Amino acid sequence: MSSVTLNQIGKSYGALEVVSGINLEIADKEFVVLVGPSGCGKTTLLRMIAGLETITVGDLLIDGERVNRVRPDERGLAMVFQSYALYPHMTVADNMSFALRLAGVDKSERDRKVNEAAKILQLDHLLQRRPAQLSGGQRQRVAIGRAIVRDPKVFLFDEPLSNLDAALRIQMRIELARLHKQLSATMIYVTHDQVEAMTMADRIVVVNKGGIEQVGTPMEIYQNPDTVFVAGFIGSPKMNLFEATATTVDGRTFAHLNSGQKISVPMQLKPGTQITLGVRPEALTADSSGPLAGEITVIEHLGGETLTYVDIGNGKLATIKSGEASLGQVGDTIRVSFAADRLHVFGPDGRAIRIQPRH
């Protein structure tokens, strides 16, 4: 297995720059997930690594060797697509062994590899079927099997679970995480689904507008988002984000929310600074002495947890995530608080202003 290094990678179509300045070190055996909204450039990045797109600027290294001009089939990578891309007229076994046959691998070795991959993916009993006789999840497993038999240095996945229903996606997520451990493989996985990123990645790379917003472990990114974009993108339900203006009263800093409420913030800010406050829904609690107040507009009971939406002014809703019990009824006014260390503050440039301890 192998490492992958991206140095100042960029991609332009004519005058249109769609990816720029990408620097990333992916370690051997790492599972890295590139996540970002539609059109942010993540697929383009993956396709440049695969060799399916040319790299406009920068260097791509696999195991320390520059491979910008190496043909896709000579890079030692295997890519799994959202659309499976199976040959409909071939059996599962033939689909899986096709690339090996092209590469001139002899039949006994091909059979050994296909059987081994089929066992890992629990496809042994389906080897003689054709794709049309398989479920979506089974087809995706065949596509993964086709990658496994090639013993690639690096696996590349392009939204492989997008065509599956919700239950199957969860199951395949678990299977892919297990597969990663079992194969000890380097994997680069593209998705727009932040839950997939959070649950599978060793490290998440958040991509936005053709650049990297933040790289970190799922919990680093969840707990310390560097930007408003990352704060809003990672986490479900979304982090509460409130636009505000900083003011100072008796040397203490307050945020005047655009929704009309006032919150103390544990840092020095120049009065008039436009900021965004962020608090995760699970960090908000009902508290009669809390600084925020509003009317409950919607309550969603999800079983083990409850989402309560509170209008804190001008129609701005705060989402509170709590346990099974309701915090009140629709129409009730409640007060809400949060621990100071659960507050995120972002400056006018959208970047996090870290909370310094007060003296």
Ligand X SMILES: Nc1ncnc2c1ncn2[C@@H]1O[C@H](COP(=O)(O)OP(=O)(O)OP(=O)(O)O)[C@@H](O)[C@H]1O
Residues that bind ligand X (CB under 6 A): 13, 16, 18, 36, 38-44, 192
Smallest distance from ligand X to CB 45, Å: 7
Instruction: Centre a 10 Å sphere on the Cβ of residue 228 and count the other Cβ atoms it contains.
Output: 22
Smallest distance from ligand X to CB 251, Å: 46
Supply the DSSP symbol for 117: H
Smallest distance from ligand X to CB 80, Å: 15
For ligand X, give the closer residue by CB, 40 or 265: 40
Residue 119 CB contacts under 8 Å (≥ 6 apart), including other chains: none
**Measured in whole angstroms, how far is the alpha carbon of residue 197 from the centre of its chain?**
3
Smallest distance from ligand X to CB 162, Å: 9
Question: With contact defined as beta carbons under 8 Å apart, do 40 and 207 qualify?
Answer: yes
Q: How many residues does the chain have?
A: 359
Q: Of the candidates 291, 239, 289, which has an alpha carbon nearest to the alpha carbon of residue 263?
A: 291
For 342, the 3-state DSSP assignment is helix
Which residue type sits at 164? L
Peptide bond into 237 cis (omega under 30): yes
Smallest distance from ligand X to CB 15, Å: 10
Q: Which residue is nearest to ligand X (CB)?
A: 43
- Cα 3 to Cα 128: distance, rounded to the nearest angstrom: 36
Supply the DSSP symbol for 355: P
Smallest distance from ligand X to CB 197, Å: 13
Q: Are strands 285-286 and 154-158 parallel, antiparallel or unpaired?
A: unpaired
Smallest distance from ligand X to CB 16, Å: 6
For ligand X, give the closer residue by CB, 212 or 292: 212
For ligand X, give the closer residue by CB, 37 or 350: 37
For ligand X, give the closer residue by CB, 14 or 104: 14
- Cα 222 to Cα 102: distance, rounded to the nearest angstrom: 45
Smallest distance from ligand X to CB 131, Å: 23
For ligand X, give the closer residue by CB, 163 or 258: 163
Question: With contact defined as beta carbons under 8 Å apart, do 244 and 269 qualify?
Answer: no
Strand partners, 9: 22
For ligand X, give the closer residue by CB, 52 or 317: 52
Query: Is the alpha carbon torsion for 159, 163, 167, 168 positive or negative?
Result: negative
For ligand X, give the closer residue by CB, 16 or 325: 16
For ligand X, give the closer residue by CB, 21 or 290: 21
For ligand X, give the closer residue by CB, 42 or 280: 42
Smallest distance from ligand X to CB 329, Å: 40
- Cα 44 to Cα 54: distance, rounded to the nearest angstrom: 10
Smallest distance from ligand X to CB 69, Å: 20
For ligand X, give the closer residue by CB, 83 or 248: 83
Residue 136 CB contacts under 8 Å (≥ 6 apart), including other chains: 163, 164, 165, 168
- Cα 1 to Cα 63: distance, rounded to the nearest angstrom: 9
132: left (phi over 0), alpha (psi -120 to 50) or beta: alpha
Q: Of the candidates 211, 223, 228, 225, which has an alpha carbon nearest to the alpha carbon of residue 24?
A: 211
